[in-house]
Amino acid sequence: MTDILVAPRDQLETRTFAALQAAGADEASARAATRAMLHASRLGIDSHGVRLASHYADVLQSGRVNPTPKMETRRTASGSAVLDADNGLGHAAAYAAMELACNMARESGVAAVGVVNSSHFGAAGAYALAGAEAGLITISMSNTDSIVALHGGAERFHGTNPIAVAAPVPDQRPWLLDMATSSIPFNRVLLYKTLGRGLPEGVAADPSGQPTLDPSLVEMLIPLGGTDFGFKGAALAGMVTLFSAVLTGSTLDHEMIRMAETHDFETPRRIGHFCLAVDPDRFAGRALYDEAMTRYLAALRASGAGEGKNVMAPGDREWAVEAERQRTGIPVDRDTAQFLGLNT
């Protein structure tokens, strides 16, 4: 990312929201997408931050995404529901799905909402985090368009299919995992190409499926675990497809219109998401959970590190970035700054 500007959070938020509204999004859709993009931008997940605002504005205007969706929820049992996103922005649908999953889980102990007829939802961690901030242990996931080979494969098959998990921690920010099931995202390949750097081993392959360190030869990513253990990453990607798409009847990764690398920006992509919530009150009980979580994280952070290294809990890096950016502002690349009217 070519940083040309560091913007205060409030200004970024206002401009992003205004840009989505200007592209036709209704207030609820624009608010949810802005919240999710700011989540990512605040925490340093810049690939899913305000950089995406211009993409969302494009697809709101081109027909792929419905700017004024009528979301409908069908409750199917005490702990399950299906939310039809009416091809609106995925962020609004996923926040609503997680909120419903949490409300149901408070009654039924565990609950899940499958989202259908949705679109790109940005950073999966935004929704898991929202649930953890409401006191529940949560999982959110979404399948995405094909870019990762199978283990031993020579073809794009799964998406980078993120898994996010979050859990409340007393008196601290939540435990927060938000990971792609490939080792790196595809835009990291493009960044390395721009920088003229070689890739790490076992993260990407050429059109024949042969691993390559040369970013200019890359046709597909290799699943987490690399050339030896990529069957694990491929299986995790498949798990995301199972819950997000097969379970909900949504578009499979390999059938999905590509996010950007396509001429079709008119057809809705019918992406599926899956949100799960578990209420600690219905298992060990809140007091015992809180005590165990505190003890676990204290032990983790005190665990010995290698020379020159340190150990962290999932989310610790993100909370540090958030604190830093709270002080200094959020870096914005040139194109996005221009799109949001920040460099005027």
294-313 residues near a copy of itself, rule: CB under 8 A: 295-296, 299-300, 303-307, 309-313
Please identify, using beta-carbon distances, which residue of 57 and 293 lies nearer to a copy of itself. 293
Task: Considering only residues 189 through 208, tell me which ones interact with a copy of itself, judged by CB under 8 A.
Answer: 200, 205, 208
Shortest Cβ 16–a copy of itself spacing (Å): 29
CA 268 to chain centre: 19
Rule CB under 8 A: is residue 321 a binding residue for a copy of itself?
no
> How many residues make up the chain in this entry?
344
Residue whose tokens read 């990512």: 40
Shortest Cβ 134–a copy of itself spacing (Å): 16
Please identify, using beta-carbon distances, which residue of 186 and 243 lies nearer to a copy of itself. 243
Question: Which part of the chain contacts a copy of itself (CB under 8 A), choosing from 11-19, 57-65, 222-230, 262-270?
Answer: 222-230
Question: Which part of the chain contacts a copy of itself (CB under 8 A), choosing from 29-37, 45-53, 105-113, 119-127?
Answer: 105-113
Q: Are 49 and 37 in contact (CB under 8 A)?
A: yes
Residue 5: Cβ within 10 Å count: 17
CA distance 60 to 38: 19
Q: Which amino acid is at 285?
A: G
Candidates 282, 329, 333, 338; binder of a copy of itself (CB under 8 A) is 282
Candidates 150, 189, 256, 342; binder of a copy of itself (CB under 8 A) is 150
Task: Considering only residues 53 through 92, tell me which ones interact with a copy of itself, judged by CB under 8 A.
Answer: 76-82
Please identify, using beta-carbon distances, which residue of 60 and 271 lies nearer to a copy of itself. 271
Candidates 209, 213, 258, 265; binder of a copy of itself (CB under 8 A) is 209
CA gyration radius, the chain:
20
Please identify, using beta-carbon distances, which residue of 59 and 169 lies nearer to a copy of itself. 169
Element housing 271 (H / E): strand 271-278
Per DSSP, 51 falls in state: G
Strand 137-142, strand 163-169: pairing: antiparallel
Shortest Cβ 31–a copy of itself spacing (Å): 27
**What region does 282 belong to: left with phi over 0, alpha with psi -120 to 50, or beta?**
alpha
CA distance 293 to 299: 10
Q: What residues form DSSP beta bridges with 37?
A: none
CA 221 to each of CA 83, 92, 181, 226: distance values in angstroms, whole numbers, following the listed order = 31, 29, 10, 10
Window 129-148: contact mask with a copy of itself (x via CB under 8 A): --------x-----------
Task: Considering only residues 151 through 190, tell me which ones interact with a copy of itself, judged by CB under 8 A.
Answer: 151-155, 157, 165, 167, 175, 177, 179, 183-184
Candidates 67, 162, 280, 331; binder of a copy of itself (CB under 8 A) is 280
Task: Considering only residues 231 through 270, tell me which ones interact with a copy of itself, judged by CB under 8 A.
Answer: 231-236, 238-239, 241-243, 245-249, 252, 254
Residue whose tokens read 């901030």: 133
Shortest Cβ 301–a copy of itself spacing (Å): 10
CA 261 to chain centre: 19
Shortest Cβ 126–a copy of itself spacing (Å): 17
CA distance 321 to 340: 23
| CA-CA-CA-CA torsion sign (174, 175, 181, 186) | positive
